[in-house]
Amino acid sequence: MKNKVVIFTAPSGAGKTTLVRYLLETLPEQLMFSVSATTRSKRFYEKHGEDYYFLTQEDFESKVEHGAFLEYEEVYKGSYYGTLKSEVERIWDNGKSVIFDVDVKGAANIKKYYGAQALAVFVSPPSYKTLEQRLIDRNTESEESLRKRLERVKLEMTYEDKFDISVINDDLDIAKADALEIVLNFLKPKQ
């Protein structure tokens, strides 16, 4: 089966982005990153079209009205995230499988849409306390923003059983090896 999609999801701070970057570096001939669209502010180190497509709320809502999104969600009040259908087609047209780094609701929607064409991997932290410390150590959020994110983490942790497989990110090298094996098994052609 060609035109496959690989979905990595996790609560914030669990390490999904680190694992996705590792897979992209390790499997550049097979995988291409799906860049999500968002209305949140760009962080100083992010690039439009590479990390996200940064859209105004008006642009985002217009694309929703015109059916341009595979999935989208208002993650926080006025803060939308979504996957453009055109992004998936762009990657498939390049002869590669799509790899997503998305929140749990987006991952569930993408998995439902693509069914057997999709592999959904939940990246689990070793514990809530470890995850909380990772988010604090990032030092990228205000106290209020961090509080909201931690509330959301508790909800997101309940989604783990909705996905095909879990990878526990306690030891990063082991998590990378597990993720690579899982993805390679999914991508290899069926006999």
Average pLDDT over residues 37-57: 94
pLDDT in tens, 18-37: 999 999 999 999 999 999 99
Question: DSSP for 5-60?
Answer: EEEEE-STTSSHHHHHHHHHHH-TTTEEE-PEEE-SPPPTT--BTTTEEE--HHHH
Give the model's confidence band at 191: pLDDT under 50 very low, under 70 low, under 90 confident, else very high. Answer: low
pLDDT in tens, 71-128: 998 877 888 999 999 999 999 999 999 999 988 888 999 999 999 999 999 998 877 7
Residue found by looking up tokens 């070793």 in the block: 126
Q: Which CATH class is domain 5-187?
A: alpha beta
- pLDDT at position 59 is 96
CA torsion through residues 18, 22, 28, 31, sign: negative
Local structure of 64: helix, strand or coil:
helix
Could you tell me the residue ranges of all domains in the chain?
5-187
